Amino acid sequence: MAAEATLQPIRRYDMDAAILFADILLILDAIGLDVRFEKGVGPIVETVNTEADLNRVPLEKAVQRLSPVYETVDRVRSKLDDDKALIGFCGAPWTVALYAIEGRGGTDKSTARSWAYTHPDLLAKLLDLLIEASAQYLSEQVKAGADALMIFESWAEGLPSDLFQTLVIDPNAKLVKRLREMGISVPIIGFPRGAATMLSKYTSQVPVNGVGLDTAIDPAHISGAVPKSMAVQGHLDPLLLIAGGDKMDARVRELLSAYSDRPHIFNLGHGVRPETPIKNVERVVELVREGVS
């Protein structure tokens, strides 16, 4: 089912790349924290309280627990044409840690941010565990056939600059460095959603090949914040994709024009919402093809 969900958009729209269908919280389940999903609520995660909570499952076993993901990658890659890329991914260490601290999504993130001030040593251990587990997880995805990797830092927003450095930039940089040490050479895209003015520090200190841009980023800001050699990915508003019409068309053309002088992966600023009209997706695909032809 995960392979089919990954492949369907490629069959329907002939897009250039597929992205793996898997949840970022699988890795918490693998390291021994209970993860469940409640209808109408979302993910519920067992919280970390002591260092003992981080030592329940040997790392090698945790990586093996994620073998269904590697099988999914292998199945998808075997069914994709050679000219279609498959993007593997994981949640970034801070974003995944946040769920292990707060126990659920949909919060104002204040508990996790406070934890960074009041439990720095335990948080550092949690981040280090997630860095190594994520590196092993991504490495196995590449071995199974992923052509590129993406690191989703979905909760980079709202952090003061000092915490952004220690919670986002440093762990992301360590994760990319660890992957390169393991011999992983595929392109890596970082997505620090909500980075705002810290984006330039992220791109200068985290050695990614591309950076995902969120909905709020002003295209005019990118030329000074992101090196011209670095690919950018994004960043149409998912809500505009629902609204459609002339405003959507104009924004698509604006984004294509703004990044015409650099590598650009056209995408949304975040995920596709369930209520998105299919006709609007088809229209955007059409506009992008016109814009790059």
- The predicted-structure confidence for 16-52, as pLDDT tens digits, reads as follows 999 999 999 999 999 999 999 999 888 999 999 999 9
Structure tokens at 211: 């950076």
Closest by Cα among 183, 189, 220 to 203: 189
**89 within domain boundaries:** yes
**20 within domain boundaries:** yes
- The pLDDT, as a whole number, for residue 275 is 96
Q: Which residue's structure tokens are 């860095």? A: 131
**138 within domain boundaries:** yes
How would residue 105 be classed by pLDDT, with cut points 50, 70 and 90?
Answer: confident
Structure tokens at 282: 């088809």
- DSSP-derived letter for residue 271 is P
**246 within domain boundaries:** no
pLDDT over 90 at 170, yes or no: yes
Q: Residue 140: what residue type?
A: E
CATH number (domain holding residue 93): 3.20.20.210
Q: What is the pLDDT of residues 189-224, one digit of tens each?
A: 999 999 999 999 999 999 999 999 999 999 999 989
Give pTM, 2 decimals.
Answer: 0.95
How many CB atoms are located within 10 Å of the residue 258 CB? 17
Tell me the C-alpha distance between 259 and 213, whole Å.
12
Average pLDDT over residues 47-69: 95
Identify the three-state secondary structure at position 212.
strand
Handedness of CA 45, 50, 51, 57 (dihedral sign): negative
Closest by Cα among 227, 285, 222 to 259: 222
Please state the domain count of the chain: 1
- The pLDDT, as a whole number, for residue 108 is 86
- The pLDDT, as a whole number, for residue 80 is 97
- The pLDDT, as a whole number, for residue 41 is 87
**81 within domain boundaries:** yes
Average pLDDT over residues 148-175: 97
- Domain residues for 74? 2-212
- DSSP-derived letter for residue 145 is T
- The pLDDT, as a whole number, for residue 78 is 97
**80 within domain boundaries:** yes
How would residue 116 be classed by pLDDT, with cut points 50, 70 and 90?
Answer: very high
Mean pLDDT of all residues belonging to the chain = 95
- The pLDDT, as a whole number, for residue 279 is 96
**119 within domain boundaries:** yes
**154 within domain boundaries:** yes
